[in-house]
Amino acid sequence: MSSFDPTTLHGARRPRGLTSFTLGTGLTAGLLFALGADSRVHTYTVSDLMPQTAGYQHEKMQTNSFYVRVAVSPCGNWLSSGSNGTGGVFLYDVSNASRPSQMTATCASAGVELRGQKGEVGAVDWAEGMLATCADDGSVRVWRPDVDVYRTCKGKPEECKWDWAWALEE
């Protein structure tokens, strides 16, 4: 186990701590993803809790609330994080996290923001092929990567109000 605190890097004046943890699955089995109050997701190996070089961040992601959570998809390829303030949910491709030699600093930190809620998005959780999020605006959203369903929902909002899709801004 390491006494090194990665949340003190990147200009942080004091240790900020880790607020949420999730174990990797599938390709990322054997890894622990930890959401830091420094607005980064830190990666550790489970066997020895040593920090990995892979870290995930987005310029709009804010995680300095104890209510914001992180989760890994069942396949182990995707990591999601809530955020406080912006209503954003952030997705990261973590499929190469267990193979640091195949990662670059750019791919390790690149994230995608999903917008569609207001306030803090605290709860995030995965099921097969979909992501559920809950925000302070009282909304629960279910997201999935199906463009055809998205277009149908946009075209017939009243008829399809219980269907779900990625909420992408066009």
pTM over 0.85: no
Residue 1 belongs to some domain of the structure: no
Identify whether the C-beta of residue 67 lies closer than 8 Å to the C-beta of residue 39.
no
Return the half-sphere exposure (C-beta side, CA atoms, 13 A cut-off) of residue 4. Answer: 12
Residue 55 belongs to some domain of the structure: yes
Residue 9 burial (10 A CB sphere; 0-12, 13-18, 19+) = middle
Residue 132 belongs to some domain of the structure: yes
pLDDT digits (tens, 9 = 90+) for 134-162: 999 888 888 877 777 767 777 777 777 66
Q: Which domain holds residue 127?
A: 6-142
**What is the model's pLDDT at position 168?**
41
Strands (E), the chain: 18-23, 31-36, 41-45, 51-56, 70-72, 78-81, 89-93, 112-114, 121-127, 130-135, 140-143
Residue 54 belongs to some domain of the structure: yes
Q: Report the number of distinct structural domains present in the chain.
A: 1
Residue 38 belongs to some domain of the structure: yes
**pLDDT reading at 86 higher than 70:** yes
Structure tokens at 158: 């009243």
**What is the model's pLDDT at position 59?**
86
Look at 111 and 100; give whichever has higher pLDDT. Answer: 111
**pLDDT reading at 90 higher than 60:** yes
Residue 164 CA to residue 149 CA, distance in Å, equals 7
Structure tokens at 168: 């992408």
Contacts (Cβ under 8 Å, ≥6 apart) of 118 = 87, 135, 136, 137, 139
pLDDT digits (tens, 9 = 90+) for 18-44: 888 999 998 899 999 999 888 889 999
Residue 162 belongs to some domain of the structure: no
Residue 122 belongs to some domain of the structure: yes
Residue 94 belongs to some domain of the structure: yes
The secondary structure of 137-153 as a DSSP string is TS-EEEE---HHHHHHH
- Which CATH number do you get for residue 70? 2.130.10.10
pLDDT digits (tens, 9 = 90+) for 107-131: 445 688 888 888 899 999 998 778 9
